[in-house]
A and B are shown apart, each in its own frame.
Chain A
Amino acid sequence: MYNSQITRANKGAFILLLDRSGSMAEQTILNGNVMTKAQALADVVNSLLTELINRCRKERFIGDYFDVAIIGYSGDEADSLLGSGWQSIVDIDSMATDITRHRLERRLPDGTAYATIVDRRAWIKPYAKGRTPMAKALSSATRLASSWCRKHPLSFPPIVINISDGEATDSSHEQIAQLADKLKAISTSDGNVLLMNIHLSGQYENEECSLRFPSEREALSLGRHAKLLFNISSTLPELYNQEIEEFTGAKPPFRAICYNAPIDELVSLLAIGSLTMDRMI
């Protein structure tokens, strides 16, 4: 299980569920810059899309190795943020996007500082308003994963990454758990859908209480919401172990949840969540 290589015949898939509720308007710091959580999330997700496209870059074309769906949830709705439903990485690359200009600074070991300006593509725009309809997002993910797995029965199963800073406002913990179970029950011949939950820390939360890919034993001391996210998150297959061991210093098995994670870590966490990029051939 979880052995399939990602090829153009057996593509890989990601579903990102992005919390765009009002609390995402809180200030945070990403790479030393003060911004809203919504802006930071958009930046990090846009970086992930850029990375996916770059990693599929061949001599004269973008290899069609991945499908991606991005669902944003806020107010009472969960909406697709990349066209409708699934998009191939080739289609994502050819979409018209905003270009954002960034000033980068680098300091060499001898202290000399350099600056340059780079352009980055932005598919996702920041948004933060209303409540947190996470149940709707999980239901959308279930529909998307189900249709994808039917079309790609031999592929590595879809990886669903849910990024939020709060609790669902449209359902109880029990309902969220049931929806997550339904999502994780979907499979290809290579394994079940993997669900990863990244809970972002708030400005005033104690980051010492952060948890990254905890073990069953660590989960014993979790609060009610963290425990829910722990319970609904997949146990990660072996291929993730080395990266997570390097990141956390802990030993497997690892549960696909990061709780109270500072936004600065989101890039690394998504890099781990999207490790199947290394399975491209």
Chain B
Amino acid sequence: MPKFSTREILESLCFGDSMFRTLSNVEPLTDSRGIRFVAGREGIVVAAEVEGKRVALKCYTRPNSANVSLFSLLDSIDSPLLAKPQFLPQELWMGNCYTDITLYPWIEGETLEWTMRYLLHNHFRERLADLLGEFRKVALQLLEAEWRHGDLKPENIIVTPDGSLRLIDCDSIYHPTLPSRGHTGTPPFVHRSRGDAYDSHIDDYSIALIITSLAAHLLDQTLPADKTLITLPSEGFYPIVAPLFDERPHLKALLDALYSSDYKIDQLHNHILNLDV
């Protein structure tokens, strides 16, 4: 199966509409560096306007790498957390074959990762508390739904201008009707013992990681601002962070869960519901 470089994809976009099978009036957005995009494991996501409407085009580095049944499922999920993608099979001509594209509605805002870095760097404590509040809401909504994100990490969460959060890049979604797709998620956000397990606990670890990290920074402003995910076991901050949670049994339980041998977190919903920050 051919594999395309990111440069080949970007150069295909330079030909304009002619390379698209069905889309027309496609205008990639540019900045001082050229076409605006971010890279991921499966391809690149390009900021563009299609028919005058702002979108995010996910272009895959391998043809036929998107999962058709996944996108029909995503289309059936009605949640304010998710931006519904439109799957366009065999859409972009690469010179010798077509590659798939997924078109996501554009969500205005910044990633949670960038927002955390910005707030920590500038000591905007109040806004950090708001962010934790919003993430708590998202976590509860996720745990009450029958689906999970599957690759939950700050890069895949957009903080919109009104402060609410939206989830993007949902290709790894867990749903009880979907078969397992092997290992999903991004390693620092995946519990070491999870392996290929594909179940409703798939987001447990990353939820606990993000909540405890936000809470730790909120409770102790002297923690290093460049360590956004300060409770990540590999960061070695447990002895400093754990005392902050001594009088906060729910946060302490989440912190300890990050170090447990089980990727499933017992009573996760209850701990988040009663979060003691």
Size of B's binding interface in residues, CB under 8 A: 28
Q: Point out the residues of chain A lying under 8 angstroms from B155, CB to CB.
A: 58-59
Bound CA–CA A188/B44 (angstroms): 31
With contacts A108-B18, A271-B5 taken as known, whether A59 is within 8 angstroms of B110 at the C-beta atoms is yes
Q: Which residues of chain B are within 8 angstroms of A51 by Cβ–Cβ distance?
A: 5-7
Contact, CB under 8 Å: A47 / B7: yes
Bound-complex Cα distance A104 to B7 (A): 13
Q: Is A150 in the interface zone, CB < 8 Å from B?
A: no
Task: Find A114's partner among B7, B15, B44, B113 (CB 8 Å cutoff).
Answer: B15
For A115-153 the 0/1 string (1 means CB < 8 A from B) is 010101000000000000000000000000000000000
CA distance A54 to B34 in the complex (A): 11
Closest to A243 in B: B3
The 8 A CB mask of A33-57 against B (1 = contact, 0 = none) is 0000000000000010011001111
**Considering the chains assembled together, what is the distance between the CA atoms of A107 and B10 in angstroms?**
17
Question: In the bound complex, how far is the Cα of B94 from the Cα of A107, in angstroms?
Answer: 10
- Complex interface: chain A residues within 8 A of B95 (CB): 106-107
Tell me, yes or no, whether A101 is within 8 Å of chain B by CB.
no
Cα-based distance from A53 to B14 in the complex (angstroms): 19
Distance from B183 Cβ to chain A, minimum over Cβ atoms (Å): 12
Q: Is the CB of A106 within 8 A of B38?
A: no
Give the chain A neighbours of B15 by CB distance below 8 A: 104, 106, 114, 116
**B3 pairs with A271, CB closer than 8 A:** yes
When distances are taken between beta carbons in the complex, the residues of chain A under 8 Å from B93 are 106, 108-109
Q: How far is the CB of B59 from chain A (nearest CB, A)?
A: 12
Closest to A102 in B: B11
| Bound: A281/B6 CA distance, A | 17
Contact B14 A281 (CB under 8 A): no
Contact of A50 among B7, B37, B113 (CB under 8 A): B7
**Contact status A281-B186, CB under 8 Å:** yes
Chain A residues with CB below 8 A from B12, complex form: 106
With a CB–CB cut-off of 8 A, which chain B residues contact A58? Answer: 38-39, 155
Inter-subunit contact B11/A59 (CB<8 Å): no
Q: What is the minimal beta-carbon distance from B46 to any residue of chain A, in angstroms? A: 11
**A contact residues around B186 at 8 Å (CB):** 281
**Contact partners of B18 in chain A: CB under 8 A:** 106, 108, 112, 114
A80 at the interface (CB under 8 A from B): no
Q: Does B52 contact A (CB under 8 A)?
A: no
Q: Return chain B residues, CB-CB under 8 Å to A56.
A: 39
Closest Cβ neighbor of A56 among chain B residues? B39
* Interface SS of A by simple majority: mixed
From the candidates B7, B14, B16, name the one contacting A54 in the complex (CB within 8 A): B7
B190 CB to closest chain A CB, in angstroms? 10
Which one of A5, A55, A112, A278 contacts B187 once the chains associate, using CB atoms below 8 Å? A5
Is B111 touching A59 in the complex (CB atoms < 8 A)?
yes
Complex interface bits, B44-75 against A, C-beta within 8 A gives 1, otherwise 0: 10000000000000000000000000000000
Answer yes or no: B195 CB below 8 A from chain A CBs. Answer: no
Q: 1/0 contact trace for A1-32 toward B, CB 8 Å?
A: 00001010000000000000000000000000
Chain A residues with Cβ below 8 Å from B187 are: 5, 281
> Interface digits, B171-193 against A, CB 8 Å rule (1 contact, 0 not)?
00000000000000011100000
Question: Known contacts A108-B93, A281-B187: does B114 contact A59 (CB below 8 Å)?
Answer: yes
**A104 cross-chain contacts in B, Cβ below 8 A:** 11, 14-15
**A60 partner residues in chain B, CB cutoff 8 A:** 114
**Smallest CB–CB gap between B37 and chain A, Å?**
6
Complex alpha-carbon distance, A278 and B39, angstroms? 11
Cα of A108 to Cα of B6 in the assembled complex, Å: 20
Closest to A267 in B: B5
Tell me whether A57 and B188 are in contact in the complex, defined as CB-CB below 8 angstroms, given that A50-B7, A51-B5, A106-B12 are known contacts.
Answer: no
Task: Report if B223 contacts A (CB, 8 A).
Answer: no
Q: Is A208's CB within 8 Å of the partner chain B?
A: no
For residue A246, CB closer than 8 A to chain B, the reply is yes
Q: Decide if B82 is an interface residue (CB 8 Å cutoff).
A: no
* A59-B38 contact given A50-B7, A104-B11, A114-B18, CB 8 Å threshold: yes
Tell me how far the C-beta of B104 lies from the nearest C-beta in chain A, rounded to whole angstroms: 15
A278 adjacent to B41 (CB under 8 Å):
yes
Per the bound structure, the CA–CA distance linking A107 and B95 in Å amounts to 7
Are B38 and A57 closer than 8 Å at their CB atoms? yes
**Interchain CA distance A280-B39 in the complex, whole Å:** 11
Residues of A within 8 A of B11 (CB): 104, 116, 118
Residues of A within 8 A of B3 (CB): 271
User: What are 25 A-B interface contacts by the 8 Å CB criterion?
Assistant: A47-B5, A51-B6, A54-B5, A54-B6, A54-B10, A55-B39, A57-B37, A57-B39, A57-B44, A58-B38, A59-B111, A59-B155, A60-B114, A106-B15, A106-B95, A108-B19, A112-B18, A114-B18, A116-B16, A246-B1, A267-B5, A280-B41, A281-B186, A281-B187, A281-B188
Q: A57-B44, A116-B14 are in contact. List 6 more A-B contacts (CB 8 A).
A: A47-B7, A54-B5, A54-B10, A59-B113, A107-B95, A108-B19
